[in-house]
Chains A and B, each alone.
Chain A
Amino acid sequence: MAAKSFSEGERLDSQEVERFETVVLPHLDAAYTLARYLMRNDHDAEDVVQDAYLRALKYFSGFRGEESSARAWVLAIVRNTAYTWRRQQHSDTLGTPFNEELHSDSVADEHPEAALLKQDAGESLTRALDQLPIEFREVIVLRELEGLSYKEISDVAGVPVGTVMSRLSRARQRLHEALCAAEEC
């Protein structure tokens, strides 16, 4: 993806670049973790993070939040960048758009190798997460791995807190089922 060019108003002065390095760069691992789970491979995740950081830099002068909110701010940019990349990658092969009712009770992406997963419960949990619809996957990653509050997740994903709650609950139910399938609980 081509680098965005900066317009005159988006240029940063040296102090702002320093502030960017202090406030935003420390969240690189969090950004990469989110991108890795959204893109499901290292190469795309790295490209998404690179592109997201370029965007973050471009819009940083408009970021007026506290340092504590920089994490959610940069994760929102990573999330939107990942969605853009996915749309471009799958523009030819778009399936049905995500529908909470439609996707919530069916087991998505049931694998023929499901029996194999039972060998390793840890791996099966990660795989189960990878196989969740992206809208469920992101709330789990944002909550369980990144430790964001419901309000922050709502801002990052652009959905109401109520939707965050129901997606989290359904996603956890799916993961619980996967865990049980692997461990025969």
Chain B
Amino acid sequence: MSHPSFESQLDAYLDGELAAVDARELEVHVAQCRECMEFRDRRLALRAAIKARVPTFQASDVLRARVRATVRKAPRVRPWRSLAIAASLAVVALGTWQLAARRSAGEALAGDVFTSHVRSLMPGGGGGAPHRRAVIGSAYREAMV
């Protein structure tokens, strides 16, 4: 048995970790190989010995209490904190909305000022849109000539 990968395979087989196809193949081989059977028996004996003699441990009461205290002392999200966060978000949202509204009002005002300024520059000022387009159109044609 100087074949580490085969030993690993046999361990995996005993651990129930081999795929069914590989497991059957291995069983067939082991049944015909005395050395493999001995190896398998040694491993089974080792497993039994570990199970019987190597202890698991129990956490002491002191440790258990310490860990529970850690969990109890864990910082939590406090309900008032959630409310405070929600409230501050609402304030921010309201502020943003007001700002946006104010800005659009400001832009509308600036637009009106600009329009009336343009109109005042036009011959006969204060004319309607069709008239403005005609003036601009004639100016454009003059420039292209």
Contacts and interface: CB of A to CB of B under 8 A. Distances in A.
Contacts of B68: 25
A150 B59 contact: no
Interface of B: 4-5, 7-8, 11-12, 15, 17, 42-43, 45-47, 49-60, 62-64, 66-68, 70-71, 74-77
Interface string A133-148: 0000000100111000
A20 B71 contact: yes
B58 A32 contact: yes
Contacts of B56: 29-30, 33, 145
A181 interface: no
Interface stretch (A64-72, A87-95, A164-172): A164-172
Interface string A151-174: 000000000000001101110110
A125 B59 contact: no
Contact of B57 (A13, A36, A169, A170): A36
Interface string A68-89: 0000000000000000000000
Contact of B15 (A25, A32, A143): A143
A46 B62 CA distance: 9
A118 to B, nearest CB: 15
Given A125-B53, A144-B54, 13 more contacts: A12-B75, A21-B71, A25-B68, A28-B67, A42-B60, A46-B63, A53-B71, A122-B53, A125-B54, A144-B51, A169-B4, A170-B4, A179-B46
Chain A facing B: main interface SS: helix
A25 to B, nearest CB: 7
B8 A169 contact: yes
A25 B67 CA distance: 8
Interface residues of A, number: 45
B51 A50 contact: no
A13 B4 contact: no
A17 interface: yes
Contact of B7 (A33, A57, A173): A173
A8 to B, nearest CB: 9
Nearest to A120: B53
A125 B52 CA distance: 10
Interface string A1-33: 000001000011110010011000100111111
Contacts of B46: 172, 175-176, 179
